[in-house]
Chains A and B, each alone.
Chain A
Amino acid sequence: MEASTTKKASKFNHGIIDCDVHQGVKSYDDLKPYMPRVWWDRLKAHNATLPFLMFRPIPLERNDAAPGNGLPSGSDPEFAKVDLLDRYNIERAILTGNLLSISAHNNPDYAAALASAFNDYTMDTWIPSDERWLGSIVVATQDPLLAAKEIDRLGSHPRVVQVLLTSASREPYGQRRYYPIYEAAARNNLVIGIHGGGEGDGINPSTTAAGYPTTNFERHNILAIHHMSQLNSIVCEGVFERFPTLKVAFIEGGLAWLPHLMWRMDKNFRAMRNEVPWLKYKPSEYILKHVRLTTQPIEEPDNKELVQMFQLMHAEKTVMFSTDYPHWDNDTPLFVLNKLPEEMRRRVAYENAAEMYQLQERGLLAGGVAK
């Protein structure tokens, strides 16, 4: 296979599915109608209650993606439609929201109420605004029973395709206390999406495994460590044996670490299988069957190495395209996808996501291009 070097968007004769778009609220006060009065006063103190420890020299939200009138980037569906979906010919986009430190909150009841309100807001304002938007139900993982209730409350909505957890958590996600979340996801036929967020904030463990870094640069270099830890835990603890239909998407955690982890897991499995007698297959086989990763923020080696990396991780099965719009480190489809050979590009841009989220079966594709 030859790596394509074309820069032309017109080369795409299929659409794109974008697996990570961050919709937000115009103001946290917009959530009041969806929340019990008792929590209202906290909304204004959203950032004070859960401060980001890390100063970000480049603001999280891209300034040039602001819809105007002083509104925050990602808060206006009409603007985002033109600025993202139309501009890049994106056929479907999965909304992942901006409550990305919800599971870091010390108060499980407030966190659950905030997540519910945000989900209702998304259903009322974003989902009806365009059929290209597909929804995720964000849940706070502090109390898995409350999270399961929330999944059952909204899980049958025809345009909801995913349950969203943040990659930072008090305990690794393979552990049994999280089973109610997986049961509810399986019951509602939803993908579990694990998205970066909340590392080192609130009740969550440190930003890196060795402690708190000094700069956002250092933090961002090591982001993937939380995704690696969660994937390791989920596979080794036998979640996919317990929930055989479950699929997990790792969102915004980079990619290049996957071959490393798969190789290491398979090697160790040969020696330590007797610790995990419930695993019937090699760890990498569970990953190839149940797990997908999104592209952004993709590592940026030269093109040849990028294609090699994609081959090592079986990207034709495992990788789904994402922009991360409107965040500062988002990737344009022209940048990532144009570096890939045609066959791989089609899988990554469209088909892997269509299969993962069963968009064809759910009648959620426009073009019906997916096989």
Chain B
Amino acid sequence: MTKHDVVGVEELEAGACKITTIEGKSIGVYYNGNEYYAIRNVCPHQQVELCKGKFTGTTLESKPHEYIYGREGEILTCPWHGWEFDVKTGKALVDPDRYRVKVYDVSIENNRVLVHMD
């Protein structure tokens, strides 16, 4: 496992995502104000740059015509067809077993955000 220094904690504002290349892979490092996440910048649908999408919340499971908003900052929506992904697991909200994007472990050391690659 190798740790890659990507960005200083003070450089990444809440809600922002920095796209960078690590070991030849495009990866988005995202901070939701609470936690840091590293997500492969490739949508499993049509292989476009997923991390250029919107980091947001979503409607939670509910009864017909009931709307409950939640998971603010935990959902990444693809800039193309709008598929939603869980930033923690990389799984698509619809069809999570079939479609997932790779996520990497992240640690903070000396105020730097490090992405772990295996």
Contacts and interface: CB of A to CB of B under 8 A. Distances in A.
A11 to B, nearest CB: 15
Interface stretch (B8-16, B43-51, B104-112): B43-51
B48 A332 contact: yes
B79 A335 contact: no
Contact of A58 (B45, B47, B82): B82
Given A63-B52, A64-B52, A332 B81 contact: no
A329 interface: yes
A332 B45 CA distance: 10
B47 A330 contact: no
Contacts of A14: none
Q: Main SS of chain A's interface residues?
A: loop
A328 B52 CA distance: 13
B77 interface: yes
Interface string B37-57: 000000001111100111000
Contact of A330 (B52, B53, B80): B80
A58 B77 contact: yes
Interface residues on A, range: 10 to 19
**Which of A58, A328, A331 has its CB near the most chain B CB atoms (within 10 A)?**
A58
A213 to B, nearest CB: 14
B100 to A, nearest CB: 17
Contacts of B46: 331-332, 334-335
Given A63-B52, A64-B52, A328 B47 contact: no
Interface residues of B, number: 13
B49 A64 contact: yes
Nearest to A65: B79
Contacts of A334: 46-47
B82 A57 contact: yes
A52 B1 CA distance: 52
A240 B49 CA distance: 44
Interface in A56-74: 57-58, 62-64
Contacts of A330: 80
B81 A64 contact: no
A334 B47 CA distance: 9
Interface in B48-105: 48-49, 52-54, 77, 79-82
B78 to A, nearest CB: 9
B81 A328 contact: yes
B47 to A, nearest CB: 7
Contacts of A335: 45-47
B81 A329 contact: yes
Nearest to B79: A64
Contacts of B49: 64
A337 to B, nearest CB: 12
Interface in A335-352: 335
A59 B54 CA distance: 11
A310 to B, nearest CB: 19
B47 A62 contact: no
Interface string A321-335: 000000011111011
A329 B81 CA distance: 5
Nearest to B83: A58
Closest 4 pairs between A and B when the two form their complex, measured CB to CB: A58-B82, A64-B79, A64-B52, A335-B46
Interface of A: 57-58, 62-64, 328-332, 334-335
